[in-house]
């Protein structure tokens, strides 16, 4: 009896793991083999406010402000929230000639609180048609601000730009694997959703929202995935985020291993927090309202970061072999096949310049690091919000 229950459990686990592998494969095919849908842009570029939350970003914010100001019109505003800073962020921003909001509240730590303070300031001092959220280490590609603003008005909804992160040319194999996974997460998956006619999740930077929506949003939170929560809130109110591949912002991964691990831990812990808290509610809303858009967002949330999915699929295969169950092994192998095909297609189209045999050989070490992060989360060692280490 116990043996039968164990086998049934292994079959169930591998069946659940088949869902994210299938979704990733579908998104991959949609990204590369379906015709991209044309984004409707407004004829005129509306006035915008660019809001920049910044916690100890003096080393990088100057370049970002300089590049952003080049894309502003006389009707636009650029607002920096110097959030609990202990460095010269405020001074650098003021020297650049932009508006600065200084926030000091050690009892409320997190990017969401900084965004809330910025939105309150904008409401008091003169909002614009569109508000664009941009992290202090991100650089707008030429024309990206106009593209986001016009798409936001054209669709009357939230817009997510293509968020590109890269490593230095001399980065190690683990860093290159992480960059490959990031390309899948922020380019392949949202492009696939867009080509299928579905909205995407917000990514924390490069987000454009209509002011009428922004002023009603509940931004103040210390959640590790405050951006995704905001996107879910918008979807529930009927203004989901749409992916705009033509607007690009760029940033860089931390050079040091410590910084990369901290960033990776925050992302992975944020995913599990969403899986536990947001997915059931979003799926329930989707069923009640018979909404394919919310259903697509809920299913997309079930796809973990690539490294986590690889680790879980490998663990599922191990359990299937140990259970000596043909059914469990078949389901597990199908999931592994779906995942392998998706990764191979993504590598061919977007990562041949990045990932080679050296990076493949580094996968076990990379998966081990990820496995330790997941194990710590299961033990209750959950990360609080922390700023990513800059170089």
**First vs last C-alpha separation in the chain:** 57
State whether the Cα torsion 101-106-111-115 is positive or negative: negative
Strands of the sheet containing 158-166, edge to edge, are 99-103, 77-83, 48-54, 130-133, 207-210, 158-166, 241-252, 139-140
The domains of the chain, with CATH numbers, are: 2-35+281-378 (no CATH), 48-257 (3.90.550.10)
Give 280-347 as a 3 state SS string: HHHHHHHHHHCCHHHHHHHHHHCCCCHHHHHHHHHHHHHHHHHHCCHHHHHHHHHHHHHHHHHHHHHH
Q: Which of 242, 353, 331 is nearest to 21 (CA)?
A: 331
Q: Which residues contact 155 (CB under 8 A, 6 or more apart)?
A: 39, 40, 242
Query: Digits of tens for pLDDT over the chain (391 positions)?
Result: 556 788 888 889 899 999 999 999 999 999 999 998 888 899 999 999 999 999 999 999 999 999 999 999 999 999 999 999 999 999 999 999 999 999 998 888 888 899 999 999 999 999 999 999 999 999 999 999 999 999 999 999 999 999 999 988 778 777 888 889 899 999 999 999 999 999 999 998 999 999 999 988 888 776 667 888 888 889 888 899 999 999 999 999 877 666 666 666 666 666 766 766 677 778 888 888 888 899 999 899 889 888 888 888 888 899 899 888 899 999 999 999 999 999 999 999 999 888 887 766 666 666 666 666 666 655 555 555 555 555 5
pLDDT tens column, 122-163 = 999 999 999 999 999 999 999 999 999 999 999 999 999 999
Q: What is the maximum span of the chain, computed from C-alpha positions, in angstroms?
A: 74
pLDDT tens column, 245-283 = 999 999 998 776 666 666 666 666 667 667 666 777 788
Do 199 and 152 touch, CB atoms closer than 8 A? no
328 alpha carbon, distance to own chain's centre: 32
Do 10 and 328 touch, CB atoms closer than 8 A? yes
Distance CA 9, CA 3 (A): 10
Distance CA 193, CA 30 (A): 7
Question: What count of other Cβ atoms lies within 10 Å of the Cβ of residue 55?
Answer: 22
Distance CA 161, CA 167 (A): 20
- Residue ranges in 126-252 assigned as alpha helix (H): 144-155, 173-183, 189-195, 211-214, 226-236
Question: What count of other Cβ atoms lies within 10 Å of the Cβ of residue 391?
Answer: 12
DSSP for residue 227: H
- Residue ranges in the chain assigned as alpha helix (H): 2-33, 61-69, 89-95, 111-125, 144-155, 173-183, 189-195, 211-214, 226-236, 257-277, 279-289, 292-301, 306-323, 326-346, 357-361, 363-378
Distance CA 364, CA 237 (A): 43
Distance CA 358, CA 90 (A): 43
Per-residue pLDDT, 389: 57
Strands 241-252 and 139-140, bridge-based pairing: antiparallel
Distance CA 298, CA 168 (A): 34
Distance CA 331, CA 382 (A): 31
Distance CA 283, CA 349 (A): 32
Length of the chain: 391
CA 30, 270, 273 angle in degrees (round to 5)? 100
């Amino acid at each position: 009896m116990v043996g039968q229950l164990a086998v049934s459990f292994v079959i169930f686990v591998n069946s659940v793991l088949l869902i994210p592998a299938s979704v990733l494969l579908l998104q991959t095919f949609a990204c590369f083999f379906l015709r991209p849908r044309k984004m409707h842009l407004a004829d005129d570029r509306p006035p915008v406010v660019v809001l920049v939350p910044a916690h100890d970003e003096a080393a990088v914010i100057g370049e970002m402000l300089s590049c952003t100001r080049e894309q502003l019109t006389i009707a636009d505003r650029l607002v920096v929230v110097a959030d609990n800073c202990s460095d010269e962020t405020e001074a650098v921003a003021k020297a650049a000639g932009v508006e600065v909001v200084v926030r000091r509240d050690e009892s409320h730590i997190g990017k969401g609180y900084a965004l809330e303070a910025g939105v309150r300031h904008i409401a008091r001092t003169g909002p614009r048609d569109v508000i664009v959220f941009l992290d202090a280490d991100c650089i707008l590609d030429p024309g990206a601000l106009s593209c986001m603003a016009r798409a936001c008005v054209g669709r009357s909804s939230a817009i997510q730009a293509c968020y590109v992160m890269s490593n230095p040319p001399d980065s190690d194999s683990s860093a290159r694997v992480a960059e490959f996974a990031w390309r899948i997460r922020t380019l392949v998956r949202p492009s696939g959703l867009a080509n299928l006619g579905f909205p995407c999740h917000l990514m924390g930077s490069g987000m454009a929202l209509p002011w009428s929506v922004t002023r009603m949003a509940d931004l103040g939170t210390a959640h590790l995935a405050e951006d995704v929560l905001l996107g879910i809130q918008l979807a529930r109110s009927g203004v989901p985020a749409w992916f705009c591949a033509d607007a690009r912002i760029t940033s860089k991964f931390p050079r040091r291993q410590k910084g990369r691990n901290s960033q990776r831990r925050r992302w992975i812990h944020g995913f599990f927090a969403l899986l536990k808290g947001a997915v059931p509610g979003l799926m329930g809303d989707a069923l009640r309202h018979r909404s394919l858009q919310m259903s697509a967002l809920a299913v997309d949330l079930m796809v973990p970061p690539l490294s986590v999915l690889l680790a879980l699929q490998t663990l599922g295969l191990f359990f299937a072999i140990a259970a000596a169950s043909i059914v469990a092994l078949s389901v597990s192998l199908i999931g592994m096949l779906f995942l392998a095909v998706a990764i191979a297609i993504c590598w061919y189209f977007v990562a041949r310049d990045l990932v080679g045999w050296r990076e493949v050989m580094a996968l076990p070490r990379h998966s081990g690091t990820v496995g330790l992060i997941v194990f710590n989360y299961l033990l209750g060692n959950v990360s609080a919000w922390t700023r990513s280490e800059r170089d």
